[in-house]
Structure 1
Amino acid sequence: MAKTTHIAVIPSPGFSHLVPILEFTKRLVTNHPNFHITCIIPSLGSPPNSSKSYLQTIPPNINSIFLPPINKHDLPQGAYPGVIIQLTVTLSLPSIHQALKSLNSKAPLVALIADSFAFEALDFAKEFNSLSYLYFPSSAMNLSLSLHLVKLDEEVSCEYKDLQEPIKLQGCVPIHGRDLPAPTKMRSNDAYKKFLQRAKSMYFFDGILCNSFLELESGAIKALEEKGHHENGKKISIFPVGPITQKGSSASSNDVDEFECLKWLKNQPQNSVLYVSFGSGGTLSLRQINELAYGLELSDQRFLWVLRAPSDSVSADYFEDANVDPLKFLPKGFLERTKEKGLVLASWAPQVEVLKQSSVGGFLSHCGWNSILESIQEGVPIVAWPLFAEQAMNAVMLSDGLEVAIRLKFEDDEIVEKEKIAKVVKCLMEGEEGKGIRERMKVLKDGAAKALKDDGSSIQTLSYLANQWENFGGI
């Protein structure tokens, strides 16, 4: 019988950061059952119910430990979500260290794997003679930017949004400064300084696991592997292990049958429904909700809309849900007028299952990376409506690079008007451009499936890593 190999995993706070790294561990133990993983979870306030219920789905050789929660009042009020996430981990470091020490005293930890916002925890790896890996839950293009940012910061004196020429990252579509991740918008603020700190840290780990795959980002991945980003004479090892999503582990078939929205979708014609969702934390202002409602009505397309209560902050629901009925904010008479063509859900839908339905022909999305991968795996083309984080960068890659999305163009804080929304929705669902996008998305769907076959690129990469960890004899 193979000896058990022990690994500790440290996600960062927030459901959308917990899921990808835990789905990675699920895939690892499914393919390599001799691994035992402990997930050490920092949290801001009480752990959300979504995280607790999700953790009930993990297999027995993955344990989870919730650390003592950090008090919200100990953190700066109104700060950018990335700053809050990273500070929560920083304040949790003593608890993380104690948990690692306790685990290591029972069985040696071969490796520590931390989410990119929890990178400081990897400083403990040397103390426990463990290997250190960063889990990067986003695209290879975003990883390329992070690794290039240190040089960019030295070479560019103005704000990135004021650059006249697009930034050219090797193997990636050119990107304008205005479309870089939200923390780069003001280089003097704390969000940018912490973003740069995370970027600088990437040169000192044993490897970076990236939630992408060769068939999706071959140019970016090959450029990263070939260049190796030598810094201080050290080569960075990049391991593309995606797509990692909740597909295949989101719900049992019995649970799925209970959702009214899925019953509704099963009764709609093929490729006729636009799924509208801004992720687990994205919100729109009241005025923008009204324009979106009128735009959907004007488009005359079927739709399934996951609606959250309005907020003037695009990331208001990142840490906690608002306890109000969002449907009451819709325009008067909207639900009655659209009842034959549309369905509006309050705050949540079983997204993985929704995207699987043959009636879903498009996804109006905030372009969070989890949502993009889920859409690719089901071959559903995208209307890109980025809100925050690296979503604008993802939208550029989808629309300009891969040509599997139509991007809604608007300036920061601009209200997207109903006519523009209706035009783009109709273009995707009915137009010639939409047909081409659908065909290209089908190719990516096949590529995602290929990467996850036993001889596929990502599963082979995972096997290589598992073999390294099994044979590791300590630093």
Structure 2
Amino acid sequence: MVKDMGTLHPYQMENPIREEAPVVVVIVPLPAQGHLNQLLHFSCHISARGVPVHFVGSATHNTQAKIRVQGWDPLTISNIHFHDLPLPPFPAPPPDPNAHNKFPAHLQPAFEAASLHFRQPLAALLRTLCSTTRRVAVIHDSLMSFAAQESAALPNAEAYVYPGISAFSNIFIKLEFFKKFAGQNVNISQISHLPALSDERCFTNQFWELVRSQVEMMDSDVCEIYNTCRAVEGEFLDLLNQPPFLRDGRMRPLAVGPLHPIILPGQDGSTSGPRHECLEWLDKQPFKSVLYVSFGSNSSLSEKEILELALGLKHSKQRFVWVLREADRGDIFAEDKSEKKSEKYQLPESYEEGLERVGMVVRDWAPQLDILAHRSTGGFLSHCGWNSCIESMSMGVPIAAWPMHSDQPWNAMLVTEVLKIGVPVMDWARREEMVLSAAVEAAVRRLMVTEEGKDMRSRAEEMGEAIRKAWLEDGSSRTELDYFIAHISR
């Protein structure tokens, strides 16, 4: 259980960081790309401040995190201690793009395997670290809260929870949890002007049971650390610091985002090795003229949805880079290789050949941060996973929102209705209906070529500047991260 930090001013440091750094940090992520990626970014920030970091997971997921991380000096990654915890074989079925519920239920076996089998080896690691270190700070994904119980069993360990989602969406998810499992229907007047959003199709019942089992292990007063900044979600972070979310308001949430690098290699005009071919293509396009299209690592489109999206992009007459790939399996290295990638998602005949200089389809892993930071990128058609949202906002790129599942519908609401830096492609209330090409075309043109879209881009650029300022010397995110490091090093 973490010690009380409530007597401090929000940005006051308890003690300067000591030279010997008698503290280590243990990172316990959920084995899904968005969660692995965020917490590896966070690990890099902590390690860069001289605090040893131990990143735990299976060999498969640790490798996945390392090969996909973007924007960091390799030396920073090499300073992190990766622990490959044993994980028995678990099912890694392919995603079902035709499923009624778009939630990636095919990843559930990986989630359950980690929550079941990581506990004992993690406990052994914590005991070893605690025997040689004055303090061990455990930062765990909210769905890996067994780590909090193991921390509580040791006198010099303390736990912090990392939700991995926006503060805004976490408010709604907590309210859904109160209603489902505590019979408590709470009205939050500060956000009552927003439409109600049913959790139907956001999650599966099996996933909700995993949430409940992990929440029951969590200290209700534990400090939550968010990959966001106060320029984006200040009012919602303040709301999370009040009942019913915190009973006494003692452990205020910390906002330390964006955690990904905001200045990337090559942005200063220098080169740092081979570049992805889509970046070479972007170099040849006009300023802010290209729409980036990607649905993340855990969402799959059906053949009909792919066809409608393809036609909508074509009819919009806007330039685009479209990442078209299968969603991750629980083990990305165990994918079925019996089919060629090019045969998995068929586009209309001659579609790609007819793109010429107008568009590009990418069928492998794409450098999203570099794409969003590119001068030619003017919009992002996104599923609204939180990684994608905060990355897009930090680069000043407005969003066409097409949510699929999980926290994505709430993130889409934040982008389109609260921040007003995006347009909806689909209405969640009509999620049973197919999104047709005409809707895609209308949303793309609205974002990219209308006066309304220009206003959204202007607001997005202003927000991007405010987000980047959060990491300047006296910026809110940098200050809160320094505060956190000082606290665990006390």
TM-score range, shorter chain: 0.7 to 0.9
Match of 2:474 in 1: 455
Call closer, same or farther: CA 1:152–1:460 in 2, change over 3 Å: same
Q: Which residue of 1 aligns with 2:359?
A: 342
Helix, strand or coil at the partner of 1:284: coil
Q: Select which of 376, 395, 406 maps to 1:389.
A: 406
User: What secondary structure is seen at the aligned counterpart in 1 of 2:56?
Assistant: strand
- Whether the 8 Å contact between 2:308 and 2:435 is mirrored in structure 1 is yes
Q: How is 1:72-471 mapped onto 2 (pairs within 5 angstroms)?
A: 72-73=90-91, 79=105, 81=107, 84-129=110-155, 130-153=157-180, 168=188, 170=190, 174-178=194-198, 182-183=202-203, 189-199=205-215, 201-227=217-243, 229-231=245-247, 235-248=250-263, 254-255=271-272, 257-309=274-326, 317=329, 319-320=331-332, 323=337, 324-328=339-343, 329-410=346-427, 411-471=430-490
Contact kept? 2:56, 2:62, Cα under 8 Å: no
Question: By how many angstroms is 1:351 displaced?
Answer: 0.7
Q: What is the match of residue 51 of structure 1?
A: 65
Q: Secondary structure at the match of 1:361?
A: strand
* Letter aligned with residue 399 of structure 2: I
In structure 1, distance between residues paired with 2:382 and 2:140: 27
Give, as a single letter, the amino acid of the residue that structure 2 aligns with 1:101: R
Give, in whole Å, the separation in 1 of the partners of 2:92 and 2:447.
46
Does the 8 Å contact 2:148/2:217 carry over to 1?
no
Deviation at 1:90, TM superposition (A): 2.4
Secondary structure of residue in 2 paired with 1:336: coil
What is the aligned partner in structure 2 of residue 40 from structure 1? 56
Instruction: Look up the SS of the partner of 1:182 in the other structure.
Output: coil
Q: Report how far residue 330 of structure 1 moved.
A: 1.0
* Superimposed CA distance per residue, residues 380-423 of structure 1 (whole angstroms, 9 cap, x where no aligned partner): 11111111211111101111111111111253353211111111
Deviation at 1:353, TM superposition (A): 0.5
Matched residue SS, 2:423: strand
Q: 2:82 is matched by which residue type in structure 1?
A: S
TM-score normalized by structure 2?
Answer: 0.83
Q: Report the secondary structure of 2:144's partner residue.
A: helix
Range with greater deviation from structure 2 (169-178 or 220-229): 169-178
Tell me the distance in 2 between the aligned counterparts of 1:50 and 1:248. 23
Partner of 1:312: none
Correspondence 1:54-65 to 2 at 5 A: 54=68, 58-65=76-83
CA displacement at 1:68 relative to structure 2: 1.1
The residue type equivalent to 1:448 in the other structure is: I
Structure-1 separation of matches of 2:265 and 2:149: 33
Q: 1:58: how far off?
A: 3.8
Give the conservation status (yes or no) of the 8 Å contact 1:9–1:114: yes
C-alpha separation between the residues in 2 aligned to 1:342 and 1:430?
A: 16
CA distance, structure 2, for counterparts of residue 307 and residue 230 of structure 1: 41
Between 1:274-283 and 1:413-422, the stretch displaced more is 413-422
Structure 1: gaps (5+ residues) = 161-165, 310-314
Q: 1:289 and 1:48 mapped to 2: Cα distance?
A: 31
Q: Report SS of the residue matched to 1:244.
A: coil
1:29 counterpart residue number: 47
Instruction: Describe the superposition over 1:326-370 as per-residue Cα deviations: whole angstroms up to 9, x where unpaired.
Output: 444111110122122111111321110011111111101111101
Work out which structure has the larger RCO, using CA pairs closer than 8 Å and 6 or more positions apart in sequence. Answer: 2
User: What is the Cα deviation at residue 318 of structure 1?
Assistant: 6.1
Task: Give the 3-state SS of the residue equivalent to 2:444 in structure 1.
Answer: helix
Give 2:25's aligned residue. Answer: 7
CA distance in 1, matches of 2:182, 2:380: 38
- What is the Cα deviation at residue 428 of structure 1? 0.7
Compared CA separation, residues 235 and 199, structure 1 to 2 (3 A): farther
Query: Secondary structure of 1:348's partner?
Result: coil
Per the TM alignment, residue 211 of structure 1 is displaced from its structure 2 partner at its CA by 1.2
Matched to 2:351, the amino acid is F
TM-aligned CA distance change 1:271 to 1:62, over 3 Å: same
Per-residue deviation, residues 230-265 of structure 1 (Å, max 9, x unmatched): 44x674431111111254467896456432111110
CA RMSD, 1 decimal: 3.0
Deviations 1:271-322 (A, max 9, x none): 111111111222111111111111111111111111114xxxxx56465356
CA distance in 2 between partners of 1:82 and 1:148 (Å): 23
String of CA shifts for 1:396-453, please: whole Å, max 9, x gaps.
1111111111111253353211111111111111012211110111121011112111
SS at match of 2:287: coil
Gaps of 5+ in 2: 1-17, 96-103
Cα distance in 1, alignment partners of residues 266 and 126 from structure 2 = 31
How many residues matched? 449
**Is the CA contact (8 Å cut-off) linking 2:394 and 2:468 kept in structure 1?**
yes
Change (3 A) 1:169 1:331: farther
Letter in structure 1 aligned against 2:352: L
CA distance in 1, matches of 2:328, 2:202: 15
Q: Which moved more, 1:170-179 or 1:323-332?
A: 170-179
Say which SS state the counterpart of residue 110 (structure 1) adopts: strand
Partner letter of residue 225 of structure 2? L
Could you say what secondary structure the match of 1:133 adopts? strand
TM-score of the two chains, using structure 1 as the length reference: 0.85
Structure that is richer in helix per residue: 1
In structure 2, what is the Cα distance between the partners aligned to 1:171 and 1:202?
26
Tell me if structure 2 keeps the 8 A contact 1:168–1:175.
Answer: no
